[in-house]
Amino acid sequence: MSVGIEQLAVYVPPSVLSLDELAAARGVPPEKFREGLGVREMAIAPPCEDVVTLAASAGARALRASRVDPGDIGMLLVATETGVDHAKPVSIFVHELLGIGRQCRVYELKHACYAGTAALMSAADWVRAGGTRPRRALVIAADIARYAIGSPGEPTQGAGAVAMVIGREPWSLVLGEESGTYAGNVYDFWRPLGRREALVDGKYSVECYLEALAGAFRAYRTLERPALGTDEPLSGRLARFLYHTPFPKMAAKAHRRLLEIDWSGTTLAGDRLEEAIVASYRDAVAPGLEAVARVGNTYTASLYLCLAALLEREGPRLAGQRLGLFSYGSGCCAEFFTGLVPSGVAVQAGVAELLRERTTIDVATYERLVREGDSGGEPPPGFTGEFVFRGVRDERREYARLAPALAA
Ligand SMILES: CC(C)(COP(=O)(O)OP(=O)(O)OC[C@H]1O[C@@H](n2cnc3c(N)ncnc32)[C@H](O)[C@@H]1OP(=O)(O)O)[C@@H](O)C(=O)NCCC(=O)NCCS
């Protein structure tokens, strides 16, 4: 039975900061951010947006695009590491804002940047377990990446959400049934209770990511069907590779590590190996990184932002071909899996339109927004979200849906 992503939609906040400007303000050469990290811009959430409104705006877009009645969603999962309450899940706010029915399993998932994949796999398993029953799940990955001002992580912030309708009519991506997984307790990135910004051992987190990639990819190679021949590369069967992308250069490092493993049984070596790695990155990875370079890190939504942007831009060209996807969450857990782009794929995830409509802010405004945090309030001019966070009253968070004229 085919199970997978029926439709997916993106939402990113309407304000954007140029990383050339941030580099100038921090006294860093702009090439360090542009080439060293591969980032160009980052999305900044205004005070009226938090992870609930990001998730709800993406979810509303996905439901409209798929023409699914909110009452038909039997499972709603929101994956995030930007939770708004220690007990009350982001997903139950989203459940109300989207008008999803009472007969629904609703919960929030957290495992750093891996939770979106945990949600996707749980939803796909739930759909499969339903047999011929017409089950549909809504999975939303949403995050606001925050590091301290002036820290090495600062240029790798961002914000956004990706919503995916999961079911037995996977018009966007048919999920493969096998996954290679890897887990281990490491302190590479964490956010102790009460802290707004993440703590990170940056260089170590890159090492942990690459080690987890090697573990998950090796595990997947043994599960691939039809089985790979001795020393046969898996990459020959995959048209594109999508990676968890905290910053685009990480995807370049990841692809290099993957190919070194995948091609270790071939005769490629020295300059020929180097040329082949560069060409493979150029053709099979780089075209999928444009959106993430302009939005920044969306933590657990990042892999799916890459997927949405790729399918929106190149879906029909990739029809009938398989993609390899790698998910990494610090702490850590990782998963390598594949998906088939079906014929007739027609994804309008909204990425290009959202990126076009954004308003540029300067460094002073960005720093003010960081200080204000998600304090709630009125939407700024040009706001493209559908939901706003009004603020906290009696220790309860209040949200509202904007009138249709105000919502994009
Ligand atoms: C990723 C991170 C550790 C980088 O920190 P940093 O202090 O900027 O690291 P570096 O000084 O090594 O610079 C980063 C890159 O820019 C390159 N660079 C530095 N100056 C440069 C310049 N003027 N022109 C071009 N490139 C430059 C470096 O060579 C390096 O590239 P490399 O990794 O290919 O060697 C930091 O951004 C971070 O902590 N991010 C958050 C955690 C994260 O995203 N982890 C990823 C795994 S989950």
Look up the CATH number of the domain holding residue 253: 3.40.47.10
Residue 40 lies in a domain: yes
Catalytic (active-site) positions: 81, 113, 244
Residue 354 lies in a domain: yes
Q: Is 370 helix (H, G, I), strand (E, B) or coil?
A: helix
**Residue identifier of the C-alpha nearest atom 26 of ligand 1:** 36
Atom in ligand 1 nearest the alpha carbon of residue 29: 23
> Do residues 397 and 51 make contact, with C-beta atoms less than 8 angstroms apart?
no
> What pLDDT was estimated at residue 24?
98
Residue 387 lies in a domain: yes
C-alpha 296/C-alpha 307 separation (Å) is 15
| Cα four-point dihedral sign 240, 169, 107, 311 | positive
Residue 259 alpha carbon to ligand 1 centre in Å: 22
> What pLDDT was estimated at residue 406?
47
Residue 407 lies in a domain: no
Residue 406 lies in a domain: no
**Residue identifier of the C-alpha nearest atom 41 of ligand 1:** 153
Residue 408 lies in a domain: no
The token pair at 63 is 């439901």
Of 407, 333, 379, 384, nearest to 114 (Cα)? 333
Task: Say yes or no: CB of residue 398 within 6 Å of ligand 1.
Answer: no
> Do residues 358 and 383 make contact, with C-beta atoms less than 8 angstroms apart?
no
Residue 281 alpha carbon to ligand 1 centre in Å: 19
**Residue identifier of the C-alpha nearest atom 8 of ligand 1:** 152
Structural domain count of the chain: 1
C-alpha 127/C-alpha 133 separation (Å) is 8
Residue 37 alpha carbon to ligand 1 centre in Å: 6
Query: Residue type at 141?
Result: A
Residue 36 alpha carbon to ligand 1 centre in Å: 6
Spatial CB neighbours of 141, under 8 Å, sequence gap ≥ 6: 78, 79, 80, 115, 116, 119, 161, 162, 164, 298, 300, 301, 304
**Residue identifier of the C-alpha nearest atom 35 of ligand 1:** 36
Q: Is 336 helix (H, G, I), strand (E, B) or coil?
A: strand
Task: Say yes or no: CB of residue 329 within 6 Å of ligand 1.
Answer: no
- Alpha-carbon distances, residue 324 vs 65, 153, 258, 281, 321 (angstroms): 25, 27, 11, 13, 10
Residue 125 domain boundaries: 4-401
Task: Write down the pTM of the prediction.
Answer: 0.97
Total residue count of the chain as it appears in this document: 408
Q: Give the pLDDT of the chain (408 residues) as one tens digit per residue.
A: 699 999 999 999 999 999 999 999 999 999 999 999 999 999 999 999 999 999 999 999 999 999 999 999 999 999 999 999 999 999 999 999 999 999 999 999 999 999 999 999 999 999 999 988 889 999 999 999 999 999 999 999 999 999 999 999 999 999 999 999 999 999 999 999 999 999 999 999 999 999 999 999 999 999 999 999 988 999 999 999 999 999 999 999 999 999 999 999 999 999 999 999 999 999 999 999 999 999 999 999 999 999 999 999 999 999 999 999 999 999 999 999 999 999 999 899 999 999 999 999 999 999 999 988 888 989 988 899 999 999 999 999 999 999 764 444
The beta strand positions in 19-109, using DSSP E, are 41-44, 75-79, 105-109
C-alpha 66/C-alpha 76 separation (Å) is 15
Task: Say yes or no: CB of residue 298 within 6 Å of ligand 1.
Answer: no
> What pLDDT was estimated at residue 404?
60
Residue 207 lies in a domain: yes
